[in-house]
């Protein structure tokens, strides 16, 4: 299939530098497979990041860490476009135009703004309110067909579609209407300390999540302390969320089915399950952590990747932006 026939997937990645085991097993592990079938564009969204106060040196470091981790997880810069959002000015340019085609009521209904505003009540800035429009610009710039998102981001895709539809209605077809992409085999990995909640790096208890860059001893300790229950049977059941989560993680880390894992641990206790899951995760993440550490020592290579990625992204973005500028009546520069 030629590049022109492939559908385009766009994904924006926050430069937190803290990708979790949940991120990896739920989505990132599938990304290398996607790049064979789709034109994949992955952007480290540093413009989005500054809606919350950032320490500049940390933001620079974390931006490179995320880029390195994605490559370490199997993304090939020759097959996917990997770049840093602020290196392609068209994102900010299109966002301003889309602001003028976004209704205030639509933007004010975004539930994530309300959540983030509550968490950062000392800094409820216009960028925080407006970032779903920048997200729409990120997606529409590349005429993305599909956007990998979690359930919490579906409202933003709907807003993006509303903006695109409104603009297309005024000026004729300009933007592709994006669809959310929910990976078929995307597993939902839960917190190790509260298995009723999804694993998240924003968890107040760092024992609840495993980071891709965690050291082996830290991983083993977190699994040793993972919440289970008083019934010692090792089976997947609705009333055993902690054990079910550990079995799911072990199955994914070792390539087994849930049934095979249940059979392997039949008659055994949590004292054997927890360290086994910890060891399996250590071995799963070891090559990713080591490759990331090697890449971060090679800043020249990372610079080559994000510079070449920005050039490719800019060429695609410019086509869309030129079309938009012409349609709204701007004089060609």
Confidence of residue 250 (pLDDT cuts 50, 70, 90): very high
Flag whether the pTM goes above 0.95: no
Residue 114 has pLDDT above 80, yes or no: no
**Does the CA dihedral 216-230-254-146 come out positive or negative?**
negative
Beta-sheet pairing, 179-181 with 146-148? parallel
Residue 198 known to be catalytic: yes
**Region 180-191 average pLDDT:** 76
| Mean pLDDT, range 17-33, rounded to an integer | 86
Cα atoms in the 13 Å half-sphere on the side-chain side of 163: 31
| Angle at 141 (CA atoms; ends 6, 129), nearest 5 degrees | 130
pLDDT at position 203 over 90? no
pLDDT (0 to 100) of residue 17 = 66
Pairwise pLDDT comparison (2 vs 199), residue with the higher score: 199
pLDDT tens per residue across span 28-48 = 888 888 898 999 999 999 999
- pLDDT score at 33: 86
pLDDT at 333 over 90: no
Supply the DSSP string of 319-333, one letter for each residue.
Answer: HHHHHHHHHHTPPP-
From 18, 198, 240, 274, active-site residue: 198
Look at residue 1 in the predicted model and tell me its pLDDT: 47
pLDDT tens track for 88-113: 999 999 999 999 999 998 888 887 77
Q: What is the pLDDT of residue 3?
A: 54
Q: Is the pLDDT of residue 85 over 90?
A: yes
Catalytic residue among 6, 7, 201, 291: 201
């Amino acid at each position: 299939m030629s590049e022109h026939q492939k559908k385009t997937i766009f994904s924006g990645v926050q430069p937190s530098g803290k990708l979790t085991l949940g991120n990896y097993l739920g989505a990132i592990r599938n990304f290398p497979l996607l790049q064979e079938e789709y034109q994949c564009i992955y952007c480290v969204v540093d413009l989005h990041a500054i809606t919350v106060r950032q320490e500049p040196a940390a933001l620079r470091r974390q931006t490179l860490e995320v880029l390195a981790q994605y490559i370490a997880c199997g993304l090939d810069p020759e097959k996917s476009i990997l770049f840093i959002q602020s290196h392609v000015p068209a994102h900010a340019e299109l966002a301003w135009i889309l602001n003028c085609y976004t209704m205030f009521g639509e933007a004010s209904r975004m539930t994530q703004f309300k959540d983030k505003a509550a968490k950062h009540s000392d800094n409820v800035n216009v960028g925080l309110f407006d970032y779903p429009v920048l997200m729409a610009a990120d997606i529409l710039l590349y005429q993305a067909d599909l956007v990998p998102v979690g359930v919490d981001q579906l409202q933003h895709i709907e807003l993006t579609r509303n903006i695109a539809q409104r603009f297309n209605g005024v000026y004729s077809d300009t933007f592709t209407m994006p669809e959310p992409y929910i990976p078929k085999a995307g597993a939902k990995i839960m917190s190790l300390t509260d298995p009723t909640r999804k694993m998240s790096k924003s968890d107040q208890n760092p024992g609840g999540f495993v980071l891709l860059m965690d050291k082996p001893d830290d991983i083993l300790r977190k699994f040793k302390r993972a919440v289970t229950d008083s019934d010692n049977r090792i089976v997947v059941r609705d009333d055993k969320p902690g054990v079910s989560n550990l079995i799911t993680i072990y199955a994914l880390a070792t390539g087994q089915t849930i049934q095979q894992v249940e059979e392997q641990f039949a008659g055994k206790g949590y004292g054997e399950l927890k360290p086994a899951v910890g060891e399996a995760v250590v071995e799963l993440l070891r090559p990713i952590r080591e490759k990331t550490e090697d890449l971060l020592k090679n800043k020249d290579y990372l610079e080559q990747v994000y510079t070449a990625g920005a050039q490719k992204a800019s060429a695609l973005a410019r086509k869309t932006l030129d079309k938009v500028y012409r349609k709204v009546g701007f004089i060609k520069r």
